[in-house]
Amino acid sequence: MSRRSKPAKRIPLADPVYNSVDVSKFINRIMRRGKKSLAERIFYATLDAIKARTNEDPIEIFQKAMTNATPLLEVKARRIGGSTYQVPIEVKADRGFALSSSWIIEAAKKRGGKSFTDKLTNEIIDASNGTGAACKKREDTHKMAEANKAFAHYRY
C-alpha cells in the first residue's frame, strides 16, 4: 500500500430510473455474483410494492429508512497495554450508509416471506417507521458505544 497519497474515492454512476447515487450503491449491495440486472429488478420491484402499499413516494421512504438505520457511533477494538478496549468512535457518512444498507439487506434475508422482494419491502417500510431489525441493530450499536463511553479517551 502506498504511503504517499490516498486513492481517489470511486463513486458509482447514478441509477437511470431515479438518478440517485444512493440507490445505485444499494443496488450494488444487493447484487450477488455480478448479477446486477437481477439486483435492479429486485430493488425496483421493491419500490413499486412500497408505492402500492403506502401511496407515498418510495424514494422518500427509502431515504427515511436509510436515515433511521444509520448509526452515529460504533465501537472499535483497541489494544492498549495487553488488554483490549471497545472504544466508541463516530461513524463517517460513507461508513454509516454502508452499515445501514448491509443491515437492512441482512435483516430482510432473515425475515419470513415468499420472495426477497416482499422481505425487502417489509424491512424498508419497518425501517422508515423506526422499527425492524435494522433499527434494532442501530440501537444495540449505540447502547454498546454508550456503555463503553469511559474508554473514549483512547480514541485515535
Q: Decide if 71 is inside a domain.
A: yes
Q: Decide if 86 is inside a domain.
A: yes
- pLDDT at res. 1: 63
CATH of the domain at 43: 1.10.455.10
Closest-CA residue to 63 (of 22, 21, 110): 22
Q: Decide if 14 is inside a domain.
A: no
- pLDDT at res. 155: 78
Q: Decide if 142 is inside a domain.
A: yes
Number of domains in the chain: 1
pTM of the predicted model over 0.85: yes
Q: Decide if 13 is inside a domain.
A: no
Q: Decide if 6 is inside a domain.
A: no
Q: Decide if 145 is inside a domain.
A: yes
Domain that holds residue 136: 21-154
CA–CA dist 123, 44 (Å, integer) = 15
C-alpha cell at 37: 440486472
pLDDT tens digit sequence for 81-140: 899 988 999 999 999 999 999 999 999 999 887 899 999 999 999 999 999 999 999 999
